[in-house]
Amino acid sequence: METAEIARRFLTFFENNGHTVVPSASLVAEDPTLLLVNAGMVPFKPYFLGQRTAPYTRAASAQKCVRTVDIDEVGKTSRHASFFQMLGNFSFGDYFKAEVIPFAWKLLTDPVEQGGFGLDPERLWVTVFFDDDEAESIWRDKVGLPSERIQRRGMEDNFWSMGVPGPCGPCSEIYYDRGPAYGVEGGPVADENRYLEVWNLVFMQFERGAGESKTDFEILGDLPKKNIDTGMGLERMAAILQGVDNIYETDTLGTILKRAAELSGTKYGENENVDVSLRVVADHVRTATMLVADGVKPGNEKRGYVLRRILRRSIRNMRLLAGAAEDRHYMHDLTATAIRVMSELYPELRTNAEAIHSVIDAEEKNFSDTLRSGTALFNRAAERTKVGGHTQFSGADAFQLHDTYGFPIDLTLEMAAEQGLSVDEGTFRSLMQEQKDTAKRDAKSKKLGNADIGVYARLLDGSGATDFLGYTDHESESRVLGLIVDGQPVTVARAGDRVELVLDRTPFYAESGGQLADKGTVASDGRGLVDVDDVQKPVPGLFVHRGTVRSGELAVDDHVHAAIDGDRRASVSRSHSATHLIHSALRNALGTGTGQAGSENQPGRLRFDFTANKAMTPTELAEVEEEVNTVLSGDIQVRDFQTSLDEALAMGALAMFGEKYGDRVRVVEMSDYSRELCGGTHVPATGQLGIVKLLGESSVGSGVRRVEAAVGIDAFRRLSKESMLVSQLSDQLKTPREELPQRIDTMVARLRAAEKEIEKLRAAQVLQAAGGLAANAREVGAARVVTHRVDDGVTGDDLRKLVLDVRGRLGEDGPVVVAVAGVPKDRPVVVVAVNKAGQERGLAAGELVGVAARVLGGGGGGKPDVAQGGGTDASAVDTALRAVEQRISESV
């Protein structure tokens, strides 16, 4: 039975039994405490916690999940995976044990032709919590399972909670006996490899208190309503129903793994190292595809880092499989395979295939460049470590690989292990934390404030969604439904308080879809006045106005007058409409595969991020700008209307890649030129934009580019300023405007030629000292040694040439060491060279540079014959050279 059919059969069974089938939520969790959705019940968590009221009493879903804690184990075993799908049925105060247990038994054991999975009842075992007599009785007396196939287990195995105070309860797990070939008899308590868990039925009936571990907490009492939460691993069930040993041999992961083997010229099942790499590739390519499809982009933080890490692990493992010299790109082909096998359940993968490929292909190209440069640095550092007689790779070097070359620490760990080295992870983690501590506070925390999300959810449940009037009105008469100060609900807010207000109706636009929030005032009949500077929607449907009470006080139930800053709104709306025009122009210029990857619409200015693998040319930018301004000059009417999602997509409306939409959507169209799904505010006609001026284009991440633009009066001011600047240059250079580019090119060429000539003269001057330095070499131990500090202003290349020249003059008659230091660009640099005779006596340039670099407050390394390092303390140059001499005297 194919994986997609298993999911369909599960959902159909529960739909026929009164459940609402809920589509999988995005992998990007709404819960701010989670990085990614990691369990099937996560989308329903607010209902179980009582933060929100469920819109249904019974539900079933097939939920996409990603777990990151086991990423390092993926590939090493045939059971770990970073992406998985969880089938689940849920009851919110409706049915309980007496209903859910028979549901599970019927679906598992009913014949295939009757809609079941057709499992042999004689091969099913269950476990129950050690004192759950009720569950055992239902299994034995109602279902008919023999007592000898019902086993009792303790808190560690058969009791569930979220890990925090809240709902909890015992669970009953269902196991399938795979037979004697997989282990010993005796049920799940004897062997969980032979007896494979296929379904966990959680009975939420208690409320737990705080605790330190999974088993250390107090049961506070019964829940007002008993709930059901079940989870069946789709991949694991597929392995059983398809008669294969593990999830990597199923029709989804197995197909991707087979393609990876074909592309790399390897075979699965003959070599354990090869098998590990193939499993890593199969799992990670699928996970990356699903993450990108949900709008995640590779980056260096949070979800972006998870995606970058798994992509780079899969790319490197493909390189290892194909051979170290292989430099082909594989991800496009593998991603296409993942899209094909997963699109049966997620058809949006086919729709967004081009955009998914764009992101993943760009990351592979970037990482190919990274591997070339970063691997060279790694090899030098590893060589330096071994030459020095050490077995631990420097934490500082690991951090540099991460910070400068984008190497995930796990990649450095793998490469180090391949060379028999460990890594100083303590120092690496310390440097990472230091970097995080000096970075700006996460922007999201600023937007969400410090109130618990449950506060907002309770307001929404108690008062309903905010009525947004802002498409037509700039002012409204409203009522205060809630006030929050310092994260806590209050009845009154007074002058000076930083407050959050919830109104029953509002003209204020809440920040979303790239459009910044409105600003304005909320006044209560002369009693109080609030300056609103931000509006957010911490839970869908609830507008939260944030501001400061300027005077008086506001109270819950006050009738207030809410008014936005109309000029600011108009300016932001012009930017938003310009964004739609730029989006269409970019697609016309670069192709329909160019998708929106984010935007921000400010008063008079905008930025628009889009998927692309290369920078735009100046000609392309100019063409886009001209097209936008030609269209807006036509004064096209801007129209918005509501329709169904299917109808909107059928008429060609663009949806933002990775965004989730409801059944009803708002479409904003500008004739046939632009048609998008959008909830933002816009101008009535494009002529009101005045003019749009593109300010530039740049890269903001792997496969993502950004254009910025000024709109309206801001664009005019920009053009006026540039015109004035051009006039000033024309006057100063005594050159007509149209000849300025050629004149400036000529001046720059002359300046560069002069700089090169000066550099040659300086290098020649430095090398003139070589003869004198060689003649004055001193005896240090058994070696002839030259240490010298050159004048500031020289380059690292100058130092290297001087060192090699002096070493060459001293020949091979005995050990020779030359160490020269300087301070180019205010940062000290030291270069050391050792001749062959010196190397044979145990002297190594890499080690000696390390001695000097540590004194300078830095690091460095290189080969045994020549090495370069540096630091930050320019005052320690002489001390560093003396340290080199001291080490030589101790060595020879």
Instruction: Please report the sign of the dihedral spanned by the C-alpha atoms of residue 97, residue 98, residue 103, residue 104.
Output: positive
- E strands, 661-702, in order: 664-670, 674-677, 692-701
Confirm or deny that 682 is annotated as ligand binding. yes
* CA 617 remoteness from chain centre: 29
- The torsion angles phi and psi of 59, rounded to 5 degrees, stand at -145, 160
What does the block give as tokens for 251?
């029709």
In angstroms, the CA 848 to CA 17 distance is 76
How many C-alpha atoms does 751 have within 13 Å on its Cβ side? 6
Identity of residue 585: A
Distance, CA of 446 to CA of 451 (rounded, Å)? 11
Under 8 Å between Cβ of 123 and 108: no
Closest CA to 143 of 126, 158, 155: 126
| Ramachandran assignment for 779, one of left (phi > 0), alpha (psi -120 to 50 degrees), beta (any other) | beta
Instruction: Name the nearest CA neighbour of 541 among 486, 471, 482, 459.
Output: 459
CB 773 within 8 A of CB 788: yes
Is 284 marked as binding a ligand?
no
Q: Is 820 helix (H, G, I), strand (E, B) or coil?
A: strand
For 657, the token pair is 């890649």
Count of positions (residues) in the chain: 892
Say whether 680 sits in a helix, a strand or coil: coil
- Nearest-5° angle of CA 837, CA 841, CA 843? 90
CB count, 10 Å around CB of 297? Answer: 23
Q: Is the dihedral of CA 173, 174, 179, 185 positive or negative?
A: positive
Rounded Cα gap, residues 316 and 408, in angstroms: 12
* Residues in CB range of 730: below 8 A, 6 or more apart: 736, 737, 740
Identity of residue 569: R
Say whether 171 counts as a known binding-site residue: no
What stretches of 507-616 adopt beta strand conformation (E)? 520-524, 528-536, 544-555, 559-564, 596-602, 605-611
Q: Are 125 and 151 in contact (CB under 8 A)?
A: yes
* Cα end-to-end span (Å), the chain: 74
Task: Please check if 474 is assigned to a binding site.
Answer: no
What span, in angstroms and rounded, lies between the C-alpha atoms of 821 and 873? 12
* Long-range contacts of the stretch 424-428 (C-beta < 8 A, 24+): 424/392, 424/393, 424/394, 424/395, 424/398, 425/395, 425/398, 426/395, 427/394, 427/395, 427/396, 427/398, 427/399, 428/395, 428/398, 428/399, 428/402
* φ, ψ (nearest 5 deg) of residue 856: -80, 0
DSSP structure string for 429-482: HHHHHHHHHHSPPPHHHHHHTTS-HHHHHHHHHHH---EE-TTT-SEEEEEEEE
For 148, counting Cβ atoms within 10 Å of its Cβ (0-12 exposed, 13-18 middle, 19+ buried), the class is exposed
Residue 456 has phi, psi (to 5 degrees) of: -70, -40
d(CA 339, CA 337): 5
Instruction: Please state the residue numbers annotated as binding site for Zn(2+).
Output: 576, 580, 678, 682
* Binding-site residue set: 576, 580, 678, 682
